[in-house]
Amino acid sequence: MDMADKERTFAAVLVALLFIGLLPSPTAAQGGFPGSISMDCGDDPEITVKPGDSSDGTVLCTVTNDGSIVAESIEITNEFSGGPIISMTISEDSFSLGAGESQDFTATFSANDRAEVVQHEFTITATVTSWQDILPVDGTPLSNTANHTGDVAIVPYGMVTLDMPDTSSRNMEVSQEITITFQVENYGNDVDTIDIRITNSNALEQLGFVIQSGDYLVARDVQSEGISDQLSFVIRAPSDASTEIRNQIVIEASSTIDDSKDVVDFDLIVAAEKDSAGLGAGLSEVSTDDLAVYGAIGGGLLLLIFLLVIIGRVSKRSSRSKVATEPPTEAPIEIEDEDELDFDLDFDDEDFLEDDLDTMLDDL
C-alpha cells in the first residue's frame, strides 16, 4: 500500500468515525454495530451426471444486514478449484441491504454427463463494500465479511449391461446339464460391485430344474467403463418329463450403487421323455404280421413232421404185416425212388385208428 492509499484509508476511517458519532447508539437503536453482516447456507450440493437423469447441484445462501442503522452494499465472491470438471456460478454477486434486511442467492454447480466421481471444496464470501452507498469501507477495518465453506461432489451412478452372447432358447434332454455364460459391463462413473441373480429360480426348481451353480453370482470391483471376468450359471434339466417342459429363465444384473439393472430372459425347453412301454408296444405292433407268418410256417412244419412220422409208422407196420402173411417165394417190394412215396392210407379202417395210431402215439 503506497502513501496515497494509506491516506485514503485514513480519511475513510475518520469520516466513518465521525458518521458513527452522529448516529444513535446501538443500544438505543436495538441493533448491531453498523457494518455487521451474517450469512447462512444450506447443505453441501451434489451433482448428478447420469445420462437421462442429470441435475445440477445447488446451495441456497441468505445474507443478512445485522445492523439497524445504516444500509450496506454487499459483494459476493467465491473461491473454487473444481474446474474443468465442475463449474460454479453465483446468481447474485452484489446487492444492497437496509438495516435488518436479508437477501437470498444461489450457488449452482454443474458438470457434464458421465463425469467421473470427484469432490471439491468451495468458499463463498459476503463482503460489506460501503455504507449507505456513499461511504466506501471496502479494504478498511469497517468492512465486515461473512464466509461459508463447503464441499461439492459428483454423485456416483450405476449403469449395468448384462452381456450374454447367446440369448436363444436352450433345447435340453432330461437330466442334461447346460452352462449359461456371460459377462457384466460397468458403464457407470465409479467402481461397482454387480449382483447377478436368476430371479425366477423358485419357479424353475418347482418344475424340476436343478441350478447347480446356485442362483446368485457377484462380480466385484468392476471398474468404470470396464467388464467383469466370464461368469456362468450351470443348470440341469428335470430327470423326467412325460410332456414337453417349457419355461422362461430370467437373469438380472444389478448395480450396488443405485437401482440400475439389466435383464435377459429366454426359454428353457425340455423334450418329452420317450416312453419305453410305448416303444415296446410299437415294436410289438410292427412285428405282429411277421410273427403270424412265422407261427403259420412253424405250425405247418410241425404238422408236416407229425404226418410224416405217422405215415412212416404206418408204412413200417404195413410192411411187417405183409411179410408175415405172404408166401416167402414172393419177391420183395422194390422202391425205385426213396424220395417218391406213394401212401395209400385208409383212415376209415377201425384197426388203423384203434391199433396202429395208438401204437404210434405210445411210441412217441
pLDDT (tens digit per residue) in 306-329 = 777 777 776 666 656 555 555 555
Please give the model's pTM, rounded to 2 decimal places. 0.63
Residue 134 has pLDDT above 80, yes or no: no
CA distance 189 to 154: 9
Residue 10: per-residue pLDDT? 45
In the numeric block, the cell 391199433 is attached to 355
Residue 70: per-residue pLDDT? 82
| Domains, the chain, ordered by start | 3-155 (2.60.40.10), 160-270 (2.60.40.10), 298-363 (no CATH)
Residue at 211: amino acid letter: I
Residue 30 has pLDDT above 50, yes or no: no
**pLDDT interval class at 359 (50, 70, 90):** low
CA distance 144 to 39: 12
CA 8 to chain centre: 74
Share of the chain above pLDDT 90, in %: 57
Asked if residues 151 and 120 have their Cβ atoms less than 8 Å apart, the reply is yes
Residue 2: per-residue pLDDT? 54
Query: Highest-confidence range of 3-7, 172-176, 294-298, by mean pLDDT?
Result: 172-176
**Residues 6+ positions from 30 with CB-CB distance below 8 Å:** 68
- Mean per-residue pLDDT for 247-253? 98
The set of cell numbers assigned to 238 is 428335470
Predicted confidence (pLDDT) per residue in 261-311, tens digit: 999 999 999 999 876 555 444 444 445 566 667 777 877 787 778 777 777
The residue ranking higher by pLDDT, 77 or 283, is: 77
- Per-residue HEC secondary structure of 243-293 comes to CCEEEEEEEEEEECCCCCEEEEEEEEEECCCCCHHHHHHHHHHHHHHHHHH
- Of 89-103, 152-166, 250-264, 343-357, minimum mean pLDDT range: 343-357
CA distance 171 to 269: 5
Predicted confidence (pLDDT) per residue in 51-75, tens digit: 999 999 999 999 999 986 788 899 9
Residue 276, classified by CB atoms within 10 Å of its CB into exposed (0-12), middle (13-18) or buried (19+), is exposed
- Of 81-85, 175-179, 259-263, minimum mean pLDDT range: 81-85
Give the dihedral sign, CA 146/151/154/156: negative
Residue 135: per-residue pLDDT? 80
CA distance 317 to 355: 11
CA distance 102 to 65: 6
Residue 354: per-residue pLDDT? 53
Residue 21: per-residue pLDDT? 44
Predicted confidence (pLDDT) per residue in 200-229, tens digit: 999 999 999 999 999 999 999 999 999 999
Residue 296: per-residue pLDDT? 75
Residue 14 has pLDDT above 50, yes or no: no
The set of cell numbers assigned to 290 is 411277421
> What backbone torsions phi and psi does residue 106 show, to the nearest 5 degrees?
-125, 135
Share of the chain above pLDDT 70, in %: 71
Residue 106 has pLDDT above 60, yes or no: yes
- Mean per-residue pLDDT for 10-16? 47
Burial 36-63 (b: 16+ CB within 10 A, else e): bbebebeebbbbebbeeebebbbbebeb
The DSSP secondary structure of 29-96, one letter per residue, reads HTSB-TT-EEEEE-SPPEEE--TTS-B-EEEEEEEEE-BSSS-EEEEEEEEE--TTTEEEEES-SEEE
DSSP state of 117: P
